[in-house]
Amino acid sequence: MNSVQNTFPELRRVDVLPTNKIRLYIGAAGFEDRSLGWCDQLAAQSEVIASAYVFKYINPKGRNRTLELRAKLRRLGASRVVPIKYDVLCPQQLEATLPSKLALDGYDEIVLDISAMTKLLELLVLFRLRSFRGTVRIAYSEAEEYCPSQSEYDPVKGEMARTARYPSRGAEQIVRLRCLNSIRMQGQPVTLVAFAAFNEKLVSHSVGFISPHRLILINGRPPRREYAWREQATFEIHKRFAKEYESDNPIDASGLLRRVASTLDYRETVERLEEIYQEHGRFERIICVATGSKMQTVGLFLAKVMHPDIQIEYPTPDSYLVKDITHGVRCVHEVVIPQFAEFIEELDGAKASGLAYDNAVAI
């Protein structure tokens, strides 16, 4: 992992922010405690942000804490808090309008708080920021408690109809956006890459919709010891896929998937995806479905930048467990990337190799 560590900045705790920067905050009004985590972490400071854009969900899955977030942002110095409506049932509308809604000129830094963003919204905004030449701080609030607890999961494990409700259940559709698409290698065999989570239906629906030549699973490994059991649980939930595509999903000595990435350290996701690309990307079309954690999705975005011929698709869950998804805030993390546009340009493998990438539209 040395090459990845050298290329990508590490995740660190959010600290005091200097006040000599003109700073923009971009986030979403969620319903979990951690949707306010970044603001609460910096509550002792003032005048650290100049203005803010806050995505307001249309057809939300829970009661969003919009007024609380707006008040906290104003106490941190935001003279403007601009709402942007996001219809979760029609994300294509936002892709078309985001460039005009999200003005980036005049700022030294952007704080992108992904804590309350859907993974699709997270990807959309990251692609919008590709041209920003200042510093981008990707902020993420880690929850104190995650659902389900082991005591909740153990009695129902193996019963997919019941465990599928944690933390979401089912899937309605596969969302495809221009900025995540790729037309390269059409007609070639498809390698589908998915992240194992507690909603088996997301992978099941993706396999049925895409009909891949091979399915590669990346299991998530929580960084905290008390949640180590979740790696076993998510493997058990997806075990039938690992068995059906066993040649592409090797098992380690402990009986778990060998291919694993931290749910918090995004660099491990970049490394796993790079390994998959080097093995299969030359002769097969790689489609990744965004079924992992928020920080794994950051790694997915960077892999897409490095290899624009990777296609990302988003299977949407048909409902969320509104209460008891997470509780509290354990730690607020950030990834700080100075000169963001230059960083992205250096990663862009298509430019470096001269490959056509007109299909990888940066919004």
Instruction: Tell me what the mean pLDDT of segment 115-127 comes to.
Output: 96
The model's confidence at residue 331, banded by pLDDT at 50, 70 and 90, is very high
Asked if 305 and 348 touch (Cβ cutoff 8 Å), the reply is yes
* Greatest mean pLDDT among 93-102, 140-149, 293-302: 293-302
Query: Model-level pTM?
Result: 0.90
pLDDT at position 163: 47
Q: Distance between CA 138 and CA 45 in Å, rounded?
A: 19
DSSP state of 211: -
The architecture in CATH of the region 7-144+329-353 reads 3-Layer(aba) Sandwich (3.40)
Amino acid making up residue 218: I
C-alpha triplet 261, 220, 32: angle, nearest 5°: 120
DSSP class per residue in 72-129: HHHHTT-SEEEEEEEETT-THHHHHHHHHH---TT-SEEEEE-TTS-HHHHHHHHHHG
pLDDT at position 150: 87
341, pLDDT greater than 90: yes
Q: Distance between CA 202 and CA 317 in Å, rounded?
A: 7
Comparing CA positions, the residue from 300, 319, 352, 331 lying closest to residue 88 is 319
Q: Distance between CA 251 and CA 257 in Å, rounded?
A: 5
310, pLDDT greater than 90: yes
The model's confidence at residue 356, banded by pLDDT at 50, 70 and 90, is very low
Quick one: what percent of the chain has pLDDT higher than 90?
70
Instruction: Tell me what the mean pLDDT of segment 232-251 comes to.
Output: 95
One-letter-per-residue 3-state SS of 151-186: HHHHHHCCCHHHHCCCCEECCCCEECCHHHCCCCCC
DSSP class per residue in 19-81: SSS-EEEEEE--SSGGGGHHHHHTTT--S--SEEEEEEEES-SS---HHHHHHHHHHTT-SEE
Instruction: Tell me what the mean pLDDT of segment 304-320 comes to.
Output: 83
351, pLDDT greater than 60: no
Looking at per-residue pLDDT, the higher value among 97 and 352 belongs to 97
Q: Which value, to the nearest 10 degrees, does the dihedral of the CA atoms of residues 197, 247, 259, 326 take?
A: 0
Amino acid making up residue 20: N
Lowest mean pLDDT among 111-120, 122-131, 172-181, 188-197: 172-181
Q: Distance between CA 161 and CA 28 in Å, rounded?
A: 31
Q: What residues does each domain of the chain span? A: 7-144+329-353, 147-321
pLDDT at position 73: 98
Coil vs helix vs strand at 248: helix
Mean pLDDT of the chain: 88
Within this chain, domains 7-144+329-353 and 147-321 share the same CATH topology = yes
Instruction: Tell me what the mean pLDDT of segment 203-216 comes to.
Output: 93
Instruction: Tell me what the mean pLDDT of segment 285-310 comes to.
Output: 96
Looking at per-residue pLDDT, the higher value among 2 and 176 belongs to 176
357, pLDDT greater than 70: no
Query: What are the residues whose beta carbons fall under 8 Å from the beta carbon of 224, sequence distance 6 or more?
Result: none
Lowest mean pLDDT among 61-65, 103-107, 153-157, 352-356: 352-356
Fold of 147-321: Rossmann fold (3.40.50)
The model's confidence at residue 160, banded by pLDDT at 50, 70 and 90, is low
Instruction: Tell me what the mean pLDDT of segment 128-133 comes to.
Output: 96
